[in-house]
Homo-oligomer: A and B are copies of this chain.
Amino acid sequence: MPRPSQALLSRRRIVETAARLIDADGLEAFSTRRLAGELGVRGPSLYNHFANKDEILDAVADAVIAEVDVSVFGTHGWREALLGWGTSYRDALAAHPNIVPYLAQGPGRRPAALAMADAVYGGLVKAGWPPARATHIGAVMRYLVAGSALGSFARGFVEDPELYAAHYPHLSQAHRLAGHQRSVDEGAFRLGLQALITGLAAEYEATIGPLPPLEPSADSYYSRNLQR
């Protein structure tokens, strides 16, 4: 069956289906044939729309980053912005953990990833951070977020009390971690993000000047969490 009268595929449809498969089964189980099957076509048909499998993965990764909200850099001080952006960034990645090893390689030529980098770097420099420091901060945030989204810390511990009993005296409760996955993982990320911002604030005061005031709004999510 050669070219159909109505297009069966589009880049968008391919990317959406690929994202769904990767979310459901992971990167290792993802194959061009599997994807083609889900789309009701054959493997080689994908090559009419993407040069290779990597290009599909690239597009999936950028679709994930496109979900990240960087608007706080235009509306809040740098501390609230880091908190809001970091949270949104981690939410986006945590919703799609299986693609994280792939997208953590850097923006490359991906439009959404570059737009995010542009907004973050620009916002930090505007806040008074020297350019080199702004770069470092962007990098650290990526480390923290990508690291936290790579896979559950809590679920990395096997639910078998016997495993820990003989040789790991302090890990007697480690088998319970997986059962508290969400609270452990989110609690850890929240702690890390807040501690990092607190530490950066100390450096800002020591090397740049007084901190910009936090939003006075009583119901502001950001001010509540950066109270000192």
Contact = CB atoms under 8 A, between A and B. Distances in A.
Interface of A: 101, 104-109, 111, 114-115, 117-119, 121-122, 125, 131-133, 135-140, 142-148, 150-158, 163-164, 167-171, 173-174, 177, 184-185, 187-189, 191-192, 194-200, 202-203, 228
Contacts of A150: 101, 104-105, 143, 146-147, 150
A118 B168 contact: yes
Nearest to A111: B167
Main secondary structure of the interface of A (DSSP, over half): helix
Kindly report how many copies of this chain are found in the complex they form together: 2
Nearest to A54: B28
A61 to B, nearest CB: 12
A212 B67 CA distance: 43
A168 B135 CA distance: 15
B143 A174 contact: no
A105 B171 CA distance: 18
A122 B169 CA distance: 8
A204 to B, nearest CB: 10
Contacts of A156: 105-108
